[in-house]
Amino acid sequence: MEDNNLLNNLLVSLNNKKVLVGVSGGPDSMFLLFLLRNYKNIVVAHVNYNKREDSTNDENIVREFCKKHKIQLEVLSLKNTYIKGNFQEIARNERYEFYKEIYNKYSCEILLLAHHKDDFLETAIMQFESKRYSFHYGIKETNRLLNMNIYRPLIHIYWKDEILELCKQNKINYAVDYTNAMDIYTRNRIRNSLKKISLVEKENLYKNYISKNNELSETENIVNKKFNEWKDKNFEVNFLKDEKFYKELIYKLINANYEKVLLSSKKIENIYQFLISQNRTSKYKLDNQHFLVKRKNLIIFN
């Protein structure tokens, strides 16, 4: 049987808005699509990366479901020759650019994605292990990207095993990506390590990160106010001196202007030392493409 409470809450939140659903053909997205199969204002987007020999099976599963339930489907098929370098980053960029194209084509108001509690926990652990600075651990339930409103209705509801059980109960056909079990990516390694601990231990880890996020949210509200004050002063360097939240302000500044620049606590500290140094005019290398420029005690963005 399906989860009627979740379905009812989901339908209320969607309020008959035009919805785009990202569907890979895996159990998570197929379960979400199953819940929405009778929702009339829906479009499905599927990306076939042609990375695995059996990737056409994923596409066919999505096609068959959409055909059966008369759901509009858009498919992007990529040539496997593009798979060089960081596949996950390239795939993510291609996927979201495609979502944006379809989102605009059908004048959608929400992009629905099927991330669940395991995805949240894996991401949180990756962030923690990398020591990268962030105002939020894990994946957010809602956010905006490329001017799309993104909503993940399963993120704080189900663990992966619970979704698999619901797929079984409802006889939902789905594809299995065998590469998920291989330790070829950091996420896969973390995913496989989480399989070795009990559900109680996973719940405790999950609750720990939720608690951290609640604390960080309070801090972020304070920082947002201070950031606006700093912005009003044209990002004067002197504003940071003797400022308790200087690390958080620098993180927000860089994140807002250089989205792809990765920040560790050490890097933020180095940026701070650069900014408050006696040199009135100089520049700091953020990465191979971006520099932070200080000119007459003001921060200039290149």
pLDDT at 86 (0 to 100): 66
Q: How far is CA 17 from the centre of its chain?
A: 22
pLDDT band at residue 58 under the 50/70/90 scheme: very high
Share of the chain above pLDDT 90, in %: 59
- Structure tokens that stand for 39 in this block: 């929702």
pLDDT band at residue 185 under the 50/70/90 scheme: low
The single-letter DSSP state of residue 48 is: E
pLDDT at 139 (0 to 100): 95
As a whole number, mean pLDDT of residues 181-200 equals 80
Lowest mean pLDDT among 38-47, 53-62, 95-104, 175-184: 175-184
Checking DSSP bridges between strand 19-22 and strand 42-48, what pairing results, if any? parallel
pLDDT band at residue 11 under the 50/70/90 scheme: confident
More confident of the two residues 285 and 149: 149
Q: Does residue 3 have a known ligand-binding role?
A: no
CA distance 175 to 30: 9
As a whole number, mean pLDDT of residues 67-92 equals 81
pLDDT at 262 (0 to 100): 79
pLDDT band at residue 81 under the 50/70/90 scheme: low
Burial of 205 from C-beta contacts in 10 A (0-12 / 13-18 / 19+): middle
Q: Over 80: is that where the pLDDT of 88 sits?
A: no
pLDDT at 80 (0 to 100): 67
What does pTM read for this prediction? 0.82
Share of the chain above pLDDT 70, in %: 92
pLDDT at 85 (0 to 100): 60
Q: Does residue 28 have a known ligand-binding role?
A: yes
Q: Does residue 153 have a known ligand-binding role?
A: no
CA distance 43 to 177: 23
- What integer best gives the mean pLDDT of the chain? 89
Q: Does residue 22 have a known ligand-binding role?
A: no
As a whole number, mean pLDDT of residues 76-81 equals 79
